[in-house]
Structure 1
Amino acid sequence: MSEQRTYKAFIFDLDGTLLHTLPDLVNVTNKALADQGFPPHTPEEILTYVGDGAARLIAQAVPADATPKQAERVFQNFKNFYHDFGIIYTTEFEGITAALEQAKEAGMGLAILSNKFEQGVLDVRDRFFPDLIEVAHGESDAVPRKPDPTGLLLCARELGVAPEECLFFGDSASDMQAAHNAGMEAVAVTWGYQPQERLMAAAPDHVIEKPVDMLRFIKQ
């Protein structure tokens, strides 16, 4: 698709797109598992669980013989621990804040839509981007996980723009699918967590290799 379309808003995935959150995801997941006497996972293992929300992450992290009640306790522990320990080791990818600042100065609306649970998204937004990103949502009773388009359409409404005036930036196939399901163009970021072949198989409309590249979508 043409890059000459006029865009009014950028919406971003969080983990692996705006922020390198894996160290904290590993720490919090293993704390939640240890509380129930379950063994820890390596960062490489947990990386393969990331992207479909905390509930799915925990479902894959608990042992196969864990009872539903045990799995639910681990999930609740994860959410509780995330509030206290979820942004200790998290860092932004180099150049993210500078690019967001330039986009905002150019008049772009900015939002986050993540498969992370909503309060976790808000905690992270308030820590890293309190004055930059005005709208932020995660998985909740009202917002299903991507690739469902509900969350993206909600972000567009709250930003006061039409879906086709938005770009959605993400590092996973579900991000690309969610954008298309919402009638938005999808931008694949190559610095994230999902293997490149899976990301490209989801047919992104655009691909960028570094955060500053997002600025090329702003019409001068």
Structure 2
Amino acid sequence: MPVYNTFVFDLDGTLLDTLPDLVELTNEALREQGFPSRTRDEIHSFVGAGAEALIRLAVPATATSEQADATMRRWKELYPIIGNKLTRAYPHMVETLQELKGRGVRLGVLSNKFDAGVHDVINLYLPDIFDVMHGESEEIPRKPDPTGLLRTIAELDSTPAQTVYVGDSGTDVAVSRNAGVFSLGAAWGYHGAAGLRKAGADAVIEDPRELLRFAPEYDYTG
């Protein structure tokens, strides 16, 4: 089995289970704009393409662009207040990341979440682990555009051939393909093993501890 010295991760549904907070946050933003709440399953189905896409799907079909924009602004205002109360790292994730770091693996995050939100939630739940973190911004377009992944790899002083991208969605598989990196599907996330295999993931794992199979056994940095 090939091993890789660089691991870049999706965030929501891969590193952290953020869905409970996304449900509460999105419904509060909707209610404040006079819109009906959405179910957990509905919001689950909206996750993966970034906050703007989430809100565009969550507001009623009759909502105007101005109303959707106002909901998005309020969602971002509420995020630091109520957006990180119920989030949790997936079982075995923290110790696996620490083991990877101990082996000298370069670790990064690339998410479709807005950039400030990525830094906030990682620094709260997974501090002092990742060398590079990026979310959607003016400079980093949403996945599956490979720009952000290629930039993250370069900032980690690595190459696509040395890199695994770990994610739980077809978008994550697509960005891996577009950037020329190995796609590792996280079946514990929001989209499941079958969807990842159908999307063409190079491999699918059921538990974060399986990440160690794709990493060197030692600290290659010496």
TM-score (norm 2): 0.95
Aligned residues: 217
Residue in structure 1 matched with residue 203 of structure 2 by the alignment: 206
Work out whether 1:105 is the aligned partner of 2:106: no
Residue in structure 1 matched with residue 220 of structure 2 by the alignment: none
The offset of 1:65, in angstroms, is 1.0
Secondary structure at the aligned position of 2:133 is classed as strand
Work out whether 1:20 is the aligned partner of 2:20: no
Residue in structure 2 matched with residue 191 of structure 1 by the alignment: 188
Aligned counterpart in structure 2 of residue 78 of structure 1, from 72, 75, 87: 75
Residue in structure 2 matched with residue 176 of structure 1 by the alignment: 173
The offset of 1:99, in angstroms, is 0.1
Secondary structure at the aligned position of 1:48 is classed as helix
Residue in structure 2 matched with residue 143 of structure 1 by the alignment: 140
State the distance in 2 between where 1:31 and 1:55 align.
16
Question: For 1:1-37, what per-residue CA distance to the aligned partner results, in whole angstroms no more than 9, with x for missing partners?
Answer: xx32x41111000111011100000011011111111
State the distance in 2 between where 1:113 and 1:84 align.
23
Please tell me the residue identity of whatever aligns with 2:165. Answer: F
**Matches for 1:53-72 after TM superposition, within 5 Å:** 53-72=50-69
Question: For 1:80-137, what per-residue CA distance to the aligned partner results, in whole angstroms no more than 9, with x for missing partners?
Answer: 1112111100001000000000000000011111111111101011101221112111
Residue in structure 1 matched with residue 88 of structure 2 by the alignment: 91
Name the % identity. 45
State the distance in 2 between where 1:218 and 1:122 align.
25
Unaligned runs of 5+ in 1: none
What is the root-mean-square deviation of aligned Cα atoms in Å?
A: 1.0
Please tell me the residue identity of whatever aligns with 1:151. Answer: G
The offset of 1:204, in angstroms, is 0.9
TM-score (norm 1): 0.96
State the distance in 2 between where 1:128 and 1:135 align.
16
Unaligned runs of 5+ in 2: 218-222
State the distance in 2 between where 1:103 and 1:219 align.
9
Residue in structure 2 matched with residue 165 of structure 1 by the alignment: 162
The offset of 1:195, in angstroms, is 4.2
